[in-house]
Every structure is written in structure tokens, then in C-alpha cells.
Chain A
Amino acid sequence: MKPTRLRATLTALALVPVLVWTLFPIYWITTASFKTELALYAKPPQWLFTPILDNYTRVLTNIPFFQYLKNSLVIAIGTTLGSLVLGTLAGYGFARFRFRASEAVRFLVLVTRMAPRMVLVVPYYLMMQRLGLLDTYTGLLVAYVSFALPFSIWLLVGFFVDVPLDVEEAAMIDGCSRLGVLIRIVIPIAAPGLVVAAIFAFLVSWNEFLFALILSGVEAKTLPVVIAGLNTDAGPLYGEMSAAAVMVMLPNIVMTLVLQRYLVKGLTLGAVKG
């Protein structure tokens, strides 16, 4: 007999510190966003308190939060659409057509993701300056699509390969074009893959900081830059900063919890399938 009871106890004992370490920062900033200033700086730290919404109302009125939210959303949705269209076409191309060096090209696609972004952002800044695209949605959008695309392609190849070939062939015999097959047959079957790719692309754009910091000034400023600004400007305004931070991470948390099964699959697909 295996000592299962002992094992379960040991597992629980090991998991408690891991869970505290993982979740405490998220818990702490979330509760901080509902605390009064007095409660925020109280010693000993307050674990029980009456929640207030002042921090949220203040951050929404003191800074043009909705403008920044709009910037972040428009750029993230644009990134999602752009990388889905390009990624679907290229993913289908890799999944269904053999050509010389297709494996190597597919690997090169992944390699583009490896370039340090700091290396790209400096020349990119100089180029956008010449084109008059600094501090515009377009400047950030083009960069973010290129960040999201390699992963979208890899992910979608994996989903498209699993679509049964005979269904596609039958449609083509009935006079459907290649593009028609992709749109009417392959995309509906591989829809879960497109959802995962869409979420990843959205998060790439929503989370990105360096390019936004350097390329956006006022007009196209996105939320991560706002958070970093609240953090370093003239003393920590913990209440407002926490409220803003919670609002910015909310979509991430919701998406992770709702779609965790797909996200796990998506993240490990590339690594395990090799």
C-alpha cells in the first residue's frame, strides 16, 4: 500500500506557500484599491476594512483614463484583427502547401520573435519619426501585429493540420476555391484555435510597454505607460495607482480564468510539439 494520506498532506503543505507567493501580490493590490488612505498606510497592515470606491472615482476623474482605455482597446483590437487575418492565411499556407525549405521558413518565423525589442525600438523610432507616425495608433499597431504574428501562425498551423483533408477536397470538387475552402470550411472547424490566437494577440498588445513608452507621447498613450507613470511621479499615490492597476489587469484575469484550458494548450503546443 502506498502512503497516500502522507502524500496528500505533504502536497498540501507544499502548495500553501506556493499559492501565497503567487496570489498575495494580486490580492494585496486589489484590496489596496478599496482602502482609504488611512487604511493604506496603517500599521499593522489592515486585513479587514470597510471597502470604498473613492480611489476608482478619483483615478477616473483626475486623469483622462477613458481616453487611455480607448487607445489601449483600439490598438489591441486592431492588433488582434491584423494578426488573425495574416496569421490565418499564412497558417493555412504552411498547413496545406509543401514547398522547398518550408520547415526552415516556419522556424524563421519563430526566430523573428526572439529579437530583443530594445534592438528594434530604437531604429523603429527613427523610422516612425521620418514617416510622421510617432504617437499614432498606426505606429504601435504595425509593431504589435509583428509581435503577435509569429505565435498566431504557429498556433494556427497546429489547428489547421487537424482539419480533415477529405472535407476540403470534397468542397473543391464542388467548385469551391482555395480561399472559399479556407473561409467556409477550415475557419469554422478551427474556430477554437482562432479564439486562442485572438486572445494571445489581444494580450500582446494590451500588455506591451516598451514600444508604447518610446513611441507614444500624449495622443496614443496606452494604459501600461499610464500605470508606470503613476508609479514614479511625485510620491506614490497608492490608492489611485492600485485602482488603475486593478482595472488594467481585470481583462487579463477574466480571460485567463475563462479560457485557461485553451491558453494552456496554446502555450505548451509550440514547446512540446517542437
Chain B
Amino acid sequence: MTAGRAGRWFLLPGLVFLFAIDLIPLAYSAWVSFYNWWLIRPRDVRFVGLANYTRFADDPEFTRAVVVTTLFTVGAVLVEFLAGLGLALLFVQPFKFLRPIRVLLLLPLFVVPVVGATMWRVIFHPELGVLNYYLGAVGLAPLPWLSDPRLALVSITLVDAWRTIPFMFLVMYAGLEVLPSELFEAAAVDGASAWQSFRHITVPLLTYIMLLAVLIRGMDAFREFDIIFVLTGGGPGTATQTMQMLNYRAFGLGHMGEANAIGIVTLVIVAVMCLVLMRAVLRPQGARG
């Protein structure tokens, strides 16, 4: 490590670019959010103060979007966390063909999200879909996967899980692999059961990684767009209209003031999640676990 002025010439181009491309639009967005600004009436832009924000208080659609976003985020992260942890525990003990199987399990994470959602749309199709055909074949009633308000939310959660369980798996597997094996051997000598050593060794040592994975995924699920857009477009009705979809709709209607206000609100929520993450990450080593 050197202290020197030369460093700035390496850092500046990237940092200036990055912060300019992020901060200028954000500042502009905050500014627009205080205006009554319609895309089709560029000459009739009026300052309205906080009106775009105060409207949310008694807008049932906005409340609904907050609820839907929360349900989707919590549901998706919970499913992905449990499945990812389970898989990681399964892979800690070596078995035959571990490597090739691990590669295959990663594929959904790298497939174009729109393409992944398209696959599931085909599978979920009420009449032509393979899923409903086999449900019928074993004597069950076909399900309206994407057209029933309750089920649609479950379906998009499943597709999100399909895509990102590999991420949870990878992160927790990497965490498990570096745990010192002596601890488990000592516990086994002392007669600890598999559950006991999981509960008292794995969980405490893995807490930090688990927290990290949940927060990163939580922020990603919160802002999910592609999958919902392709599968339901926010419907049926407003059943899967998350805050992102509501934002997109306001933009589509040309209501820039409201679209930006929704954006700023989501940004604040994500920023709070991010602060929690930051505090967890910047905590000194000794305090971990």
C-alpha cells in the first residue's frame, strides 16, 4: 500500500462516472417529484410541493402495492433462504458427481430473467401448460396459476425462487465450506447429534453470511421487475402490482411527478435496508457471530 496522489488519477474516472450516473438522475428525480408534471403537457408543469407524496396516504392502490411488495419480498426471501440453506448443507458432505450437479443447479441464475419468466409462462398456461395437464392426469383440478389473484402472487414468488435459490445456495455453501472442521469433530466426540452441532456450531458461525445473503436478496426482491412484468404485468387487477409495477404504470400514464415520488419512496425504503446491511458488514470482526 502506498499513500500518494497518483491514486486519484486511477480512481477518479470510474468514481466520477459512477456517482454522476447515479446521483444526477436521483437528484433530478427528487426535484421532479415536487411538480405536477405530465409528459404530454410539457408547458403546464406546476410546483405542488409534497402533494405527490401526501396523496399516497389515502390512496388504496399505493397501500395495496406496499402490502403486495412486502408479501412478495418476505415470501420469496424466506423460501429462497430455506431452500438455499438446505441445499448448501446437502452439498457440504461430498458425494458423487458433486461438481457437475452444482453447475447444473446454477443455470437459472445466469439465464436472461425475461427468458426464465417466459419458460414459466408456458408451463403455467391454464389450458396448454404442462403443469395443469399433469395435475389433471393425477386427478387434481387444474389451477389458474397466473389468473387467480392469490395464486398469482404465489406463482411469481415461485418463479423468483427458481431463479435465485442458486444465489442463496452459493453464498451459504461458500460460508459453510470455510467453517473449521475441528469444531464438528470435537462435537461428534462429545456425542453431539447432527441437529445439536447444526444448532450450536453452524448457525452461530454462519449468522453473518446468512444475514448478508438475506439482505442482498431482500433488496433485490423488493425491486423485482422483469419476472412480474412478463408473468402477470401486475395483474390480475392489482394482485401482483408491486411498488415497482405501480411506478411503471404511473410512468406509462405519463404522470412524471407521481412516478418519481413513488421512486423516491422506494429508494428511501431500500436505503434503510442498506443501512442495516452496512452496519452488519462494517461491524468489527470480533463481534461477528
Interface status of A134 (Cβ within 8 A of chain B): no
Q: Which of B190-214 contact A (CB under 8 A)?
A: 208-209, 212-213
Q: Which of B178-228 contact A (CB under 8 A)?
A: 178, 208-209, 212-213, 216, 219, 222-223, 225-226
Alpha-carbon separation in the docked complex, A203 to B140 (Å) = 40
Q: Are A260 and B96 in contact (CB under 8 A)?
A: no
Interface status of B135 (Cβ within 8 A of chain A): no
Interface status of B116 (Cβ within 8 A of chain A): yes
Q: How far is the CB of A35 from chain B (nearest CB, A)?
A: 12
5 nearest interchain CB pairs? A97-B7, A93-B10, A90-B14, A116-B223, A93-B11
Q: Are A255 and B110 in contact (CB under 8 A)?
A: yes
Q: Are B106 and A256 in contact (CB under 8 A)?
A: yes
Alpha-carbon separation in the docked complex, A109 to B264 (Å) = 20
Q: How far is the CB of A50 from chain B (nearest CB, A)?
A: 19
Q: Are A120 and B22 in contact (CB under 8 A)?
A: yes
Q: Which residues of A contact B133 (CB under 8 A)?
A: 43-45
> Which B residue sits closest to A23, measured CB to CB?
B104
Query: Which of the four size classes fits the interface of chain B?
Result: 35 or more
Q: Which residues of A contact B248 (CB under 8 A)?
A: 118
- Known interface pairs A25-B120, A99-B7, A126-B256. Does A271 touch B26 (Cβ–Cβ under 8 Å)? no
Q: Interface SS of chain A: helix, strand, loop or mixed? A: helix
Q: Identify which of B10, B14, B107, B278 gathers the most chain A CB atoms within 10 Å of its CB.
A: B14
- Known interface pairs A97-B10, A127-B25. Does A146 touch B17 (Cβ–Cβ under 8 Å)? yes
Q: Which residues of B contact A111 (CB under 8 A)?
A: 274, 278
Interface status of B52 (Cβ within 8 A of chain A): no
Alpha-carbon separation in the docked complex, A11 to B93 (Å) = 9
Interface status of B266 (Cβ within 8 A of chain A): yes
Q: Are B105 and A19 in contact (CB under 8 A)?
A: yes
Q: Which residues of A contact B107 (CB under 8 A)?
A: 22-23, 26, 253, 256
Q: Are A271 and B216 in contact (CB under 8 A)?
A: yes
Q: Are A29 and B118 in contact (CB under 8 A)?
A: yes
Q: Which residues of B contact A44 (CB under 8 A)?
A: 133, 137
Interface status of A71 (Cβ within 8 A of chain B): no
- 0/1 per residue, B86-114, Cβ < 8 Å to A? 01001001011000010111111011111
Q: Which residues of A contact B259 (CB under 8 A)?
A: 122
Q: A94-B11, A109-B15 are in contact. List 14 more A-B contacts (CB 8 A).
A: A22-B105, A23-B104, A29-B118, A86-B14, A89-B13, A98-B2, A117-B225, A120-B29, A124-B25, A145-B21, A149-B17, A149-B18, A252-B111, A263-B106
7 A-B pairs in the complex with CB atoms less than 8 angstroms apart: A44-B133, A45-B130, A90-B13, A93-B8, A115-B267, A223-B112, A245-B119
Alpha-carbon separation in the docked complex, A210 to B32 (Å) = 20
Contacting chain B: which of A62-70, A189-197, A235-243?
Answer: A235-243
Q: Which of A107-141 contact B (CB under 8 A)?
A: 107, 109, 111-112, 114-127
Q: How far is the CB of A240 from chain B (nearest CB, A)?
A: 12
Q: Are A209 and B229 in contact (CB under 8 A)?
A: yes
Alpha-carbon separation in the docked complex, A114 to B166 (Å) = 20
Q: Are A122 and B29 in contact (CB under 8 A)?
A: yes
Interface status of B247 (Cβ within 8 A of chain A): yes
> Which A residue sits closest to B282, measured CB to CB?
A107
Q: Are A15 and B111 in contact (CB under 8 A)?
A: no
